[in-house]
């Protein structure tokens, strides 16, 4: 009851408010309050966290492109997703260092586009590797354009990327990607509006002793017709089901494969002269005791221990246990 004001306290409070001695709240926010613009129609809200299939597509692209690029450069190349961003095209072009190669990929069947951005560092490094270097040499980037040979290298790499991207998208949406043209200045790209929202995947490419970045930019208008397939959990489950079906098919194929199975009774060392003098009934001493198990080799690799025997009047081996290399060392 102590928190309840009595009549005299209520009257004193009203007199303070009327005289201005007590401040009251107003509808105006404090001057230091931060304003936040919240646009419910912004595609960024739809893309971030709402299209899980995009991650599935680009994870598959990473595996395929890594192998393809390694074969092209004849070196071990590691590719991984470095970051995922959503921004307007007008902001994106400000982040591109010059010179850079912007390769426009035509997307069928909806006549969309995707952009593969390769900065000068990755282009010059690949050029150095193909010429026998390590890719870590220092290059003068400013004030020069790509040569005809460097543009040819860019074209070959982007064609490989388009092929692997087509294979990656096939599991979700059957898209066909092909190289349309290449530009070195982002302001010359007319197929993308300046206000267009881009989905940007940045990939880290590690080649020998150098680390570079490659970016794949997807305008929202290109993937907007496929929102249902990209944002639905059913599509992700479908991809997982396809993977499981492929694994089962692979397991069935492996079970039907024929392999060479060899039982190694033992080993012995004799001279060539002793071999020439061998005759029927001679005994060669082996390195195993009579009660020791035999090594069972699959394609030349020890896999099991076994003991000799017979099965339906034929020589056979009864598998006792899996092969243990540590146990073999102790036995020796």
Q: pLDDT digits over 77-128, tens only?
A: 899 999 888 888 888 888 888 788 889 999 988 888 999 998 888 888 888 8
Calpha distance 42→57 (Å, rounded) = 23
Question: pTM of this prediction?
Answer: 0.57
122 class by beta-carbon count within 10 Å (0-12 exposed, 13-18 middle, 19+ buried): buried
Q: What is the mean pLDDT of the chain?
A: 81
CA distances from 175 to 166, 233, 237, 266 (A): 6, 20, 20, 59
Q: Percentage of the chain surpassing pLDDT 90?
A: 18
Least confident of 140-144, 196-200, 261-265: 140-144
275 class by beta-carbon count within 10 Å (0-12 exposed, 13-18 middle, 19+ buried): exposed
Q: What is the CATH superfamily name and number for domain 261-268+285-331?
A: SpoA-like (2.30.330.10)
Residue 329 scores a pLDDT above 50: no
What CATH number was assigned to the domain covering residues 43-246?
Answer: 3.40.1550.10
Residue 156 scores a pLDDT above 90: yes
* pLDDT (mean) for 280-296: 83
Please state the domain extents for the chain: 43-246, 261-268+285-331
Residue 234 scores a pLDDT above 50: no
């Amino acid at each position: 009851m102590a928190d309840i004001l009595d009549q005299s306290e209520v009257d004193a409070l009203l007199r303070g408010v009327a005289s201005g001695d007590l401040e009251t709240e107003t509808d105006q926010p404090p001057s230091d309050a931060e304003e936040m613009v919240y646009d419910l129609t912004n595609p960024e809200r739809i893309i971030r966290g709402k299209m899980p299939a995009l991650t599935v597509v680009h994870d598959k692209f990473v595996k395929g492109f890594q192998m393809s690029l390694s074969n092209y450069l004849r070196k071990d190349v590691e590719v991984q997703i470095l970051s995922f961003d959503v921004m307007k095209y007008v902001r994106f072009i400000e982040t591109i260092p010059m010179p850079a190669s912007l390769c426009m990929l035509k997307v069928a069947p909806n006549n969309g586009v995707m952009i593969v951005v390769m900065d000068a560092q990755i282009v010059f490094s690949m050029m150095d590797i193909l010429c026998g270097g390590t890719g870590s040499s220092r290059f003068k980037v400013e004030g020069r354009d790509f040569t005809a040979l460097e543009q040819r290298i860019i074209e070959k790499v982007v064609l490989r990327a388009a092929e692997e991207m087509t294979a990656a998208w096939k599991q979700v949406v059957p898209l066909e990607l092909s190289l349309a043209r290449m530009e070195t200045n982002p302001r010359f790209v007319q197929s993308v509006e300046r206000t267009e929202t881009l989905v940007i995947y940045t990939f880290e490419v590690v080649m020998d002793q150098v680390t570079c970045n490659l970016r794949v930019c997807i305008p929202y208008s290109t993937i907007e017709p496929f929102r249902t397939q990209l944002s639905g959990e059913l599509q992700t489950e479908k991809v997982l089901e396809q993977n499981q079906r492929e694994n089962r098919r692979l397991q069935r194929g492996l079970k039907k494969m024929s392999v060479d199975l060899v039982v190694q009774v033992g080993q012995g060392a004799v001279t060539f002269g002793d071999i020439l003098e061998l005759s029927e009934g001679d005994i060669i001493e082996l390195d195993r005791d009579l009660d020791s198990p035999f090594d069972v080799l699959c394609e030349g690799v020890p896999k099991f221990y076994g003991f000799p025997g017979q099965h339906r009047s034929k020589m056979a081996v009864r598998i006792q246990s899996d092969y243990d290399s540590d146990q073999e060392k102790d036995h020796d």
